Amino acid sequence: MADDATSGPGMPQLDLTTFSNQIFWLVVTMVVLYFIMSRVALPRIAAVLADRRGTITSDIAAAEDFKLKAQEAEAAYNQALADARTEANRIVEAAKAEMQAELDVQLTKANAEIAARSAESERHIAEIRDNALAMVTDVSNDVTKEILTAFDVKADARSVTAAVSARLKGGAA
Amino acid sequence: MLPCVIRVRKKGTRPVADESGGLSIRPMDQFEVKALFGGDIAWYTPTNVTLWMALTVLAATALMVLGARRRAIIPSRGQSAAEMAYGFIYKMVEDVAGHDAVRFFPHVFTLFMFVLFANLLGLIPFAFTTTSHIAVTAVLALTVFLSVTALGFILNGTKFLGLFWVSSAPLALRPILALIELISYFARPISHSIRLAGAMMAGHAVAKVFAGFASALGAIFFVPVLAVTALYALELLVAVIQAYVFTILTCVYLRDALHPSH
């Protein structure tokens, strides 16, 4: 493509007549941009970043603190729980021991009563048996006397009694 | 209506009528420096350079000052972007140039913001890309080069010359290496400036050529339109990457000035 007179050289980049203009405006631009960045933008962002870092650090510290407190509370709770359990066990043990003692006393008393009653009963039974035996002896004596009277056999009371008791003893043996 | 003449109107150029007819794509017109209010261009004349540099300052200020104006602990989207830019460049300076280079962070940040927004604003159709001009990038690169060299001598005295004396190499090789190091050191501002201007200029010129094809090809116009679309995405990437490269090279040079020993 041919350049006409107005468009200058093929590459506008090599048109030296515009260099001073570009360089002047570039210097102005860079100075302005540098002051905006270094005086306003960068300190502001640095402050924001530092603020955030501070906030995060303090938040983490606070969280750590809360965690510690929570752990303490949990330990206290567990301690209380353990204490309560021990106390409960102690009470249960005490109650059990008390009940056992009471039971033992009652049991002993009951056993003694049972023993006393059975002894009484045995005594009573023995009495009845003795009575019955005595009655049997008396009846035997009377019946023997009556029979001897009926057969007109003369016998004194003493020998009859001795014979009957000997007979009863022999029968029993 | 001239059926044979293709008019390419992009980036503020006047319609061009080619007398011979046929294809007339003028991809370099977009880089022309023009006075805003007519007349000759003197060093103080407000030109499209002035306009787009002012817009660059406004855009950077909008992001960094207006974006962070609420100073919120929980940032808004704008503030997040501003903080991200701050953190990105801060970390770059700290990682690449060392912790004692942090005092030059505002300078490096200003450089990054200017190049980034100049590149990005240049991608707006009809915009003028200030960083596509070697005059601009060369001044930036030379400023970096001269200030870093001066800084090296001020901070380290003659020990700064140790940068060229590779003490880990065999003694016989050292003078040769010193020569190579010296040449590469002085090539820095050249590569630093031409890389940025070249990347910007090439991308915009190619985009314009494809756009010109779109009007020339008639029925199959969509092929160059698709190409321009893809190219535009690529250029967006290039705009950011070139700003990044320009800044990180500045940090590398800064590190050499602060710690010249190999």
Interface test with A, best of B86, B88, B105 (most A CBs within 10 A): B86
Least CA distance to A11: which residue of chain B?
B28
* Shortest Cα distance, chain B CAs vs residue A66, angstroms: 22
Residues of A whose CB is below 8 A from B53: 25-26, 28-29
Residues of A whose CB is below 8 A from B71: 44, 47-48, 51
Task: For residue A42, give the nearest of B71, B86, B136 by CB distance.
Answer: B86
Residues of chain B under the 50 pLDDT cut: 1-21
pTM of the model: 0.72
Residue whose C-alpha is closest to residue B5's, from B28, B30, B26: B26
Q: Which residues of A99-112 are buried (b: 16+ CB within 10 A; e: fewer)?
A: eeeeeeeeeeeeee
Least CA distance to A4: which residue of chain B?
B18
Could you read off the pLDDT of A128-145 as tens digits, one per residue?
998 998 888 888 888 888
Task: For residue A1, give the nearest of B24, B133, B136 by CB distance.
Answer: B24
Do B68 and A40 count as a contact with CB atoms less than 8 A apart? Answer: no
Q: Give the three-class secondary structure for B32.
A: coil
Do A22 and B49 count as a contact with CB atoms less than 8 A apart? Answer: yes
Q: Give the three-class secondary structure for B47.
A: strand
Residue A103 has pLDDT above 50, yes or no: yes
| pLDDT given at position B220 | 84
| pLDDT given at position A172 | 53
A78-82, A169-173, B91-95: range with lowest mean pLDDT: A169-173
Could you read off the pLDDT of A35-75 as tens digits, one per residue?
999 999 999 999 999 999 999 999 999 999 999 999 999 99
Residues of A whose CB is below 8 A from B56: 29, 33
For tokens 């567990």, name the residue. A78
* Shortest Cα distance, chain A CAs vs residue B105, angstroms: 9
| pLDDT given at position B166 | 83
Q: Report the distance separating Cα B90 and Cα B236, nearest Å.
A: 23
Task: For residue B29, give the nearest of A7, A36, A37 by CB distance.
Answer: A7
Do A37 and B64 count as a contact with CB atoms less than 8 A apart? Answer: yes
Residues of B whose CB is below 8 A from A44: 65, 68, 71
The residues with which B5 forms a beta bridge, in sequence order, are B22
Task: For residue A51, give the nearest of B29, B73, B201 by CB distance.
Answer: B73
| pLDDT given at position B11 | 44
| CB contact residues (below 8 A), chain A span 38-97, against chain B | 38, 40-42, 44-49, 51-52, 55
ipTM comes to: 0.86
Taking the alpha carbons of B215, B219, B223, B225 in that order, is the dihedral positive or negative? positive
Q: What is the dihedral of CA A125, A130, A134, A135, to 10 degrees?
A: 0
* Shortest Cα distance, chain B CAs vs residue A57, angstroms: 13
Q: Is A31 near chain B, with CB under 8 Å?
A: no
| pLDDT given at position A8 | 46
Residue whose C-alpha is closest to residue B85's, from A36, A50, A57, A46: A46
Residue A34 has pLDDT above 70, yes or no: yes
Q: Report the distance separating Cα B64 and Cα B170, nearest Å.
A: 50
Residue whose C-alpha is closest to residue A160's, from A133, A138, A134: A138
Mean pLDDT of chain A: 88
Residues of A whose CB is below 8 A from B73: 48, 51-52, 55
Give the domain ranges of chain A: 40-172
Residues of B whose CB is below 8 A from A20: 42-43
Per the model's pLDDT, the better-predicted residue between B218 and A112 turns out to be: A112
Task: Name the packing angle between helices B77-92 and B105-121 (round to 10°).
Answer: 120
Q: Is A159 near chain B, with CB under 8 Å?
A: no
| pLDDT given at position A171 | 58
Q: How confident is the model at residue A121 (pLDDT cuts 50, 70, 90)?
A: very high
* Shortest Cα distance, chain B CAs vs residue A83, angstroms: 47
Q: Are B20 and B3 in contact (CB under 8 A)?
A: no
What token pair was written down for B182?
Answer: 């010296």
Task: For residue A22, give the nearest of B24, B61, B135 by CB distance.
Answer: B135
| pLDDT given at position A61 | 96
| pLDDT given at position B23 | 62
User: What single-letter DSSP state applies at residue B16?
Assistant: -
Q: How confident is the model at residue A160 (pLDDT cuts 50, 70, 90)?
A: confident
Least CA distance to B72: which residue of chain A?
A48
Residue A4 has pLDDT above 50, yes or no: no
Do B73 and A52 count as a contact with CB atoms less than 8 A apart? Answer: yes
Task: For residue A26, give the nearest of B106, B109, B139 by CB distance.
Answer: B139
